[in-house]
Amino acid sequence: MTNANAHLHSDLFKPVQLGAVQLQNRIVMAPLTRSRAKAGDVPTELAAEYYAQRAGAGLIIAEATQISPQGKGYAWTPGIYNESHVAGWKKITDAVHAKGGRIFLQLWHVGRISHPDLQPGNALPVAPSAIKPDGNAFTESGFKPFVEPRALEASELPAIVEQYKIAAQLSLQAGFDGVEIHAANGYLLDQFLRDKTNQRTDNYGGSIENRARLLLEVVEAVTSVIPSERVGIRLSPISPANDIADSNPKALFSYVVEQLNRYKLVYLHVVEGATGGPREVDGGFDLQVLRDLFKGIYIANNGYDLEMAVKARDRNLADLVAFGRPWIANPDLVERFKAGAALAEFNQATLYGGGAEGYTDYPPMQQS
C-alpha cells in the first residue's frame, strides 16, 4: 500500500450503526442552507435530485427547516409544518433511500435571526429577550438590517415546544430516518442557552438550568413522540455565529450535555470553533470535554479535510465526521476521498437562491 492510499485503512469508509439505521460510512453531509424552496416553504423536486446525488454520504443531514412560519429567517428556506411539506420531503427521502443513503432532517426556529419581511403578518421576530443582533437578514428583496425582536412571553413557549414535536412526527411521516434538533449557530434554542442573548428574569433565564430549560423541553417533547434513537442534536458551544456569546460556555454546555444524556439521543453533532470559520476561538475550551460527557455518537464538524478526518478516527476523537461546504461542488465526495482526487470549488454566486445552476449541475468526478 502506497502512502497516497494510507487513508483507505481508515474506518471512515466502513459501515457503522447509528441507532436504528446502518450507515455506509462515517462521512456525514452537514446541513447546508441553499434557499431553493417554493412558495409556501415547500421543497422542490430539484432538491430530490440534489440530495440523491449526495446519497453516498453515510448520513445526510438535510438543510435547516423551519418548524413554523415564525421560525423562518431566510428567503426560500423549506418548512416542515404541514402536509405539503411532508409530500415535498417524501420525494427527497425516497430518492435518497433508493440510492442506499440515509437522511435526517434538521429542525429549526431562527428566533431573532429574521426580519418582518419573512414573518407572518410582517410581525417582529421573536427571541428570549428584546436584543437586536448585529448584521443583516437575507430577505427575498436582499439583505436588510436585523431589527429589535420581541421578547417571547413564557406563556408562548409551550406552543413552540409543540411545534417541534409535530415537526418531528411529520419528519418521520415524510420518510426521514430521524431528526436533528438545531440548537446551534445563534438561533432560537441557542439564544435561550447563552447569556448574551438571554437576559430573562423568569424560569427561562438567569441560571444555566433556567437557560437550558426550553431546549430540554423540546428534547423531551420530541423524544416523547419519536424514538430517541432517531433524534440527534447540534450544538456550537464556542461559535459567535449570529452575534451570540456566553460568559461561561464550558459550564453551560457541560450541563446541557449531561442533561441530554437523560434522553438517550443517538448523536451529538458539534460545530467545533466558529461556524464556517476558525476552529480555534478566543475564550473557547477543549470540546472533547463534551464528547467525553456524551453517552452516544459524536459527530465532529467544522473545517475538516480528509486528513483531519482520518486523524480524528485514528485518535478516536470523533465517531463520525461531518463535512459541509465540500459537498456543494462534490456530489460524490466519498468517492473522491477514496480516490484521493482533487476537490472542486463551489461558486459563491449560486450558493443561495436560484435553481439548478450551482445546485444540481456539479458533475461527479469521472465527468469533471
3-state secondary structure of 244: coil
CA distance 360 to 122: 33
Q: Which is nearer to ligand 8OZ, 214 or 244 (CB)?
A: 244
Residues 227-246 that bind ligand 8OZ (CB under 6 A): 241
C-alpha cell at 293: 460527557
- Give the count of beta carbons closer than 10 Å to the beta carbon of residue 264: 14
Q: Which is nearer to ligand 8OZ, 74 or 362 (CB)?
A: 74
* Shortest Å, Cβ 31 to ligand 8OZ: 7
Q: Which is nearer to ligand 8OZ, 74 or 337 (CB)?
A: 74
Q: Which is nearer to ligand 8OZ, 335 or 352 (CB)?
A: 352
Determine if 33 is a binding residue for ligand 8OZ (CB under 6 A): yes
204 catalytically annotated? no
Determine if 86 is a binding residue for ligand 8OZ (CB under 6 A): no
Q: What is the DSSP letter of 289?
A: H
C-alpha cell at 263: 434522553
C-alpha cell at 349: 454566486
* Shortest Å, Cβ 65 to ligand 8OZ: 9
Determine if 74 is a binding residue for ligand 8OZ (CB under 6 A): yes
The count of residues interacting with ligand 8OZ (CB under 6 A) is: 6
Distances in whole angstroms, Cα of residue 164 to Cα of each of 72, 104, 200, 290: 13, 15, 22, 24
Q: Which is catalytic among the residues 51, 74, 81, 187?
A: 187
DSSP collapsed to 3 states, 120-171: HHHCCCEECCCCCCCCEEEECCEEEECCCCEECCHHHHHHHHHHHHHHHHHH
Determine if 275 is a binding residue for ligand 8OZ (CB under 6 A): yes
CA distance 88 to 145: 32
- Give the count of beta carbons closer than 10 Å to the beta carbon of residue 41: 22
CA distance 293 to 221: 23
Residues 167-206 that bind ligand 8OZ (CB under 6 A): 185
From candidates 23, 27, 64, 80, binder to ligand 8OZ by CB under 6 A? 64
Q: Which is nearer to ligand 8OZ, 205 or 240 (CB)?
A: 240
Catalytic residues: 187
Q: What is the binding site for ligand 8OZ (CB under 6 A)?
A: 33, 64, 74, 185, 241, 275
